[in-house]
Amino acid sequence: MFHEKNPQIEKIIDQLGSMLDLCYVFESQLRCVDMVKPIIIILHQGDHNSLTEDMDEKIKSLFKTAHLYTFKIFSLDYALTSLKEHNLFFIQHCQKENIIYKLKSANPKEVQMEINEVTFELIREHIDDQLSSCVHYFDAALEFKEEANYVKALVNLNIYHKSLMDIAAKFHLGHEFEATQIRELQELMAPFNRELGAIYDIHSKEDWRLLKLLDQISEHSIIMTSPINEEQIEALINKAGQTLDATLNLFRNQLKAAKISYEKSHKLRLLSQPKTSKEYQKIREDVQALVNRKILELRPGHNKTYYKANMKIDGPADILYHISGMLKVCIMALGNENSNLFPNPNLNIQTTLEHVLQLLPFEEVECLEQIIKELEITTDHYVLEPPRYLYA
């Protein structure tokens, strides 16, 4: 993307430079409700605490002079961590060609990611993990509803709603909102996404009551100023489902747009060429041979299969000997090692450990390593933080 010089934006950057340790400024396009809006992303070398209230007000007043733009400020560390976590917002917008300002000593490579097909799968996984981390609140709300404990159901629905809004804000705008009330979160998302901005129709008395019920829940206390019934909880559960659908729709659309953008600009790195059908056939035969050895049907045509693990046994009596040895180890683990049942406890432990060793899937892992090697599968995962013991 070619960026024409904008004197107004350049003036704002100059003024910001007197308040912040600027490192990078990006100009990109943010998809909003009915339009694509220009966005300016500012990365500075401080942290969140380096922005005082007074500075925050001054910065906001600067941004008001360019009302056609959306402005976002982040610390460089936060942006780099978000990139490593495959945050869609930063991958979309923090691209080399979007840089309109950089510190002379800055190295643009630090904010660049090599993008390929796997990257987009990792972005999906990141969102899946976030959604999975909050779904238990929804499940808890359903359980409390069945128990007629409507207050606790309401608490969990409040947390679930907020979690979904936070997830959407983070992948679409780069950060969670500071607001805690669902009404406020919906208002903040409305300019950027119609669905999430209209889950609750504020002109509907019924929806307004539901919003008021949700927002009776604060972070530190439950302030119930009006009663709640099963029908209202059921309506809130439906609204939670709509919020999830809207969040997923927004994510899919943004991910699709990002992928198309990378494909059009020829920046989507292709993975290594696939193997020939002959090479694939050899791999398939090896895997099939392993499956034939290890996975067995209960009987021909039966849909239930069993996995065969190898254990060396001399005969039927030996089976009883080994089982008794394992049971003795379990009893000893409970603190009864002084019992007369264990004339030779070391032998019992050794026998059990030998069985465990025999059950380790060496053959399967060797087969997996061969597949990875033959298909030339590599990882796009990053190590976010080295283990602390490396610094000891």
Query: In what helix (H) or strand (E) does residue 42 lie, and over which residues does it extend?
Result: strand 36-44
Distance of alpha carbon 383 from the chain centroid: 15
| Residue 329 CB-half CA count within 13 A | 17
What is the per-residue pLDDT across 211-256, written as a single tens digit (0 to 9) for each?
Answer: 988 888 765 556 666 678 999 999 999 999 999 999 999 999 888 8
Please check whether residue 233 is in contact with residue 157, taking contact to mean a CB–CB distance below 8 angstroms: yes
Confidence label for 160 from pLDDT (cuts 50, 70 and 90): very high
- Domains present along the chain, CATH in parentheses: 7-111 (3.30.300), 117-264 (1.20.120.330), 277-375 (no CATH)
More confident of the two residues 161 and 51: 161
Both tokens of 216, joined, read 């009776």
Give the pLDDT score at 220. 52
Amino acid at site 2? F
Instruction: Report the 3 state secondary structure along 130-191.
Output: HHHHHHHHHHHHHHHHHCCCHHHHHHHHHHHHHHHHHHHHHHHHCCCCCCCCHHHHHHHHCC
Distance CA 47, CA 10 (A): 23
Distance of alpha carbon 367 from the chain centroid: 30
Both tokens of 385, joined, read 């933080």
| pLDDT cut 90: percent of the chain above it | 28
Query: In what helix (H) or strand (E) does residue 39 lie, and over which residues does it extend?
Result: strand 36-44
The predicted model gives 272-281 an average pLDDT of: 60
Please check whether residue 258 is in contact with residue 91, taking contact to mean a CB–CB distance below 8 angstroms: yes
Q: How many CB atoms lie within 10 A of CB 1?
A: 10
Distance of alpha carbon 105 from the chain centroid: 33
With tokens 């996975």, the residue in question is: 295
Q: 3-state class of 3 per DSSP? A: coil
Distance CA 25, CA 98 (A): 8
Distance CA 168, CA 174 (A): 9
Both tokens of 158, joined, read 């409040």
With tokens 């007000």, the residue in question is: 57
Give the pLDDT score at 158. 92
Distance CA 252, CA 31 (A): 13
More confident of the two residues 321 and 152: 152
pTM exceeds 0.95: no
Give the pLDDT score at 148. 92
Crossing angle for the helix pair 230-264 and 117-146, nearest 10 degrees? 180
Beta bridge partners, 240, equal: none
At residue 268, does pLDDT exceed 60?
no
Confidence label for 383 from pLDDT (cuts 50, 70 and 90): very low
At residue 44, does pLDDT exceed 70?
yes
At residue 351, does pLDDT exceed 80?
no
Q: How many CB atoms lie within 10 A of CB 22?
A: 22
Give the pLDDT score at 331. 75
Per DSSP bridges, beta strands 36-44 and 70-75 are: parallel
| pLDDT cut 70: percent of the chain above it | 78
Confidence label for 173 from pLDDT (cuts 50, 70 and 90): very high
DSSP H helices, 265-379, are 277-294, 316-333, 345-359, 362-375
Crossing angle for the helix pair 150-173 and 182-189, nearest 10 degrees? 20
Give the pLDDT score at 140. 92
Q: 3-state class of 73 per DSSP? A: strand
Give the pLDDT score at 301. 56
At residue 113, does pLDDT exceed 80?
no
Q: 3-state class of 295 per DSSP? A: strand
Please check whether residue 240 is in contact with residue 160, taking contact to mean a CB–CB distance below 8 angstroms: yes
More confident of the two residues 378 and 216: 216
Residue whose C-alpha is closest to residue 161's, from 132, 137, 130: 137
